[in-house]
Chain A
Amino acid sequence: MAITVPRPKLSWFERLYLPAIVSGLIITLRHFKNMILGRTKVTMQYPEQKWDSAMPDHYRGAPALVRDESGRVRCVACQLCEFICPPRAIKIIPGEIPPADRFAKVEKYPNEFDIDMIRCIYCGMCEEVCPEQAIFLRKDYAITGLTRAEMVHDKQKLLEIGGVMHGVVLKWNERK
């Protein structure tokens, strides 16, 4: 069934069209003026201004390894994150801590720990699964690189991003 759309009845003043043009021009001029005077809020100018300060604590950025208060890499190379990782971005080669070491009772440490940031989907499962609170998703989001190899974060890079984290896992304390 055809629907007839009723056309509004315009007065001769409205049909003149020119007053509407003028009022339109005034509207755009007002926007222009407010921009010139800096009254309009505009887009954030990204590389100079960033969201970083406004980012919530639960933000899931690049995963990173952390050290504890005594400078030990918290990771004990249990490889749970490697197994849980949905896109299989994590590769761990475990090593054994020599008996003479201060933390010999930890037994294992990651000899190599690579996260392929091209594969990583920032899901945070590694952080969730980690029994040692050794891997965290930090607030870094602009992960760039010129080659695929550059996009693989190795252990050193991951520790650099991670820094020191004070946590509740204290079972490797010497006094325990």
Chain B
Amino acid sequence: MSFLIITSLIKIIGIVFVVILPLVSYSVYAERRVSALIQDRLGPNRVGPAGLFQPIADAMKFLLKEQLTPAHVNKFYYYLAPCLAMIPAIMTIAVVPFGSTLLGVPMVIADINVGVLYVFAIASLGVYGIVLAGWSSNSKYPFLGGVRSSSQMLSYELSLGLAVIPVFLLVGQLRLTSVVRYQIEHGWMIAPFMGDWTSPAKWLLTIPMWISFLVFMIAIFAETNRLPFDLPEAEQELAGGYHTEYAAMKFGLFFLGEYAAMITGSAVLVTLFLGGWHLPIPSWRGSFHWVLVDGSAPGWRGIAGGLFNIAIFFAKLIAVLLFFIWVRWTLPRFRYDQLMRLGWVFFFEIALVNIFIAALIIAYFPTS
């Protein structure tokens, strides 16, 4: 029992302070640097080698700035909102398996059987931070940002939830470790044919899985307020949106919360569709086959395998994050009515029909 508590505490501290928070600050750096490179600029390159210490300088700036509280705000909710923006984003990572095992300890903080429900429940709380910030600021632009955020969440949460149902139809469980285990045995969700190249059912399944993947990814974009769906914080229209009245570290928390939400969103995306920590290694010893590397082997091979799995997971995560950044600096923002139309008229229906397609395929080919 105490072993469980101690390992969990080590995992929590390790993940939050060693991985997530540095990853958050360095994704801000990557955002600035990649956007600059895309726009033929150089970006922050002065603090440290290649500007790598820029996040530290940013954090110092946020901490040392004056903690200004406007007189016209509703104090309690005004202070509560930044916390609500940051905490749910970090909490969500608890159920995501970020590695196989290390020294026999499973590399997931809480392996609960309602996995993905927990993710959706907690991740949706993040919108309260934004709505409360908009409302408590007592100012028109933040208010509009908060209202936009809540209606945007309403229209995208539906397709977000519906998009993953085919995955769970296939897996039969909501536990995220089981999803990863299933993908190891039957091929990743975006390539269900990988395990069995000859089965037509697997090839057919690719279609609903890709639809799921795309809808889920687009809904994650909307959920994390990323461009092209960053209407709550549209700088040009709303003077920054919900965080207009915030300064210093309180603004910093919104900023970091947004990136933390992006990281957890990508982590869920990687776990559900991109095979989690799994990377098959081809081997030609004897005949051609795929080797599964994980932490179950004895001795140093197990430790190396566990670390390899963790590295694979975060490599996939960073790849998805870079894709997020790439999309942000490519696409223009949607108009508000277009966003609503997209959410309610297209993605909702597509996700709904997709469930039936997946269910039919699974029903007609019971072996799959």
Residues of A within 8 A of B (CB): 21, 24-25, 27-29, 31-32, 34-36, 40, 42-43, 45
- Indicate if the CB atoms of A24 and B330 lie closer than 8 Å: yes
B residues neighboring A (CB under 8 Å): 34, 37-42, 326-327, 329-331
Query: Is A42 a contact of B39 with CB atoms below 8 Å?
Result: no
Question: Which residues of A sit under 8 angstroms from B40, Cβ to Cβ?
Answer: 31, 34-35, 40, 42
Chain B proximity of A135: nearest CB distance (Å)? 38
* Contact (Cβ within 8 A) A43 B330: no
The residues of B that contact A24 with a CB separation of less than 8 Å are: 330-331
In the bound complex, what is the Cα–Cα distance between A36 and B330 (angstroms)? 17
Q: In the assembled complex, which residues on chain A have CB atoms less than 8 Å from the CB atom of B39?
A: 31
Structural contact, B331 and A43, CB atoms closer than 8 A: no
25 pairs, CB–CB < 8 Å, chain A vs chain B = A21-B330, A21-B331, A24-B330, A24-B331, A25-B326, A25-B330, A27-B330, A28-B38, A28-B326, A28-B329, A28-B330, A31-B38, A31-B40, A32-B34, A32-B37, A32-B38, A32-B326, A34-B40, A35-B37, A35-B38, A36-B37, A42-B40, A42-B42, A43-B42, A45-B42
Q: How far is the CB of A123 from chain B (nearest CB, A)?
A: 35
Nearest A-chain residue to B34, judged by Cβ: A32
A114 to B53, CA, bound (A): 44
Q: Which residues on the B side are within 8 Å of A25 (C-beta)?
A: 326-327, 330
| Besides the known contacts A28-B38, A31-B39, 5 further A-B residue pairs in the complex with CB atoms under 8 A apart | A25-B327, A31-B38, A31-B40, A32-B38, A45-B42
Give the residues in chain A near B41, CB-CB below 8 Å.
42-43
Question: A33 CB to closest chain B CB, in angstroms?
Answer: 9
**Nearest 7 pairs of A and B residues by beta carbon:** A35-B37, A28-B330, A28-B38, A24-B330, A40-B40, A32-B37, A32-B38
Q: Which residues of B contact A45 (CB under 8 A)?
A: 42
Q: How far is the CB of B29 from chain A (nearest CB, A)?
A: 16
CA distance A111 to B74 in the complex (A): 67
Provide the bound-state CA to CA distance between A36 and B326, in Å.
Answer: 14
Q: Which residue of A lies closest to B342 (CB)?
A: A17
Rounded to whole angstroms, the CA-CA distance of A49 and B254 in the bound complex is 37
* CB neighbours of A28 from chain B (8 A): 38, 326, 329-330
**How far apart sit A29 and B329, CA to CA, in the bound complex (Å)?**
10
Best-surrounded residue of A28, A29, A31 (most CB of chain B within 10 A): A28
Most B CB within 10 A of own CB, among A25, A34, A45: A25
**A residues near B42, Cβ cutoff 8 Å:** 42-43, 45
B38 contacts across to A, CB distance below 8 A: 28, 31-32, 35
Measured between alpha carbons, how far is A168 from B327 in the docked complex, in Å? 65
Most chain B Cβ neighbours within 10 Å, of A25, A32, A34: A32
Across the interface, do A29 and B326 meet the contact criterion of CB distance under 8 Å? Answer: yes
Residue of B nearest to A23 (CB): B330
- Give the residues in chain B near A31, CB-CB below 8 Å: 37-40
State the Cβ distance, B250 to closest chain A Cβ, in Å. 33
User: How many Å lie between the Cα of A27 and that of B329 in the bound state?
Assistant: 11
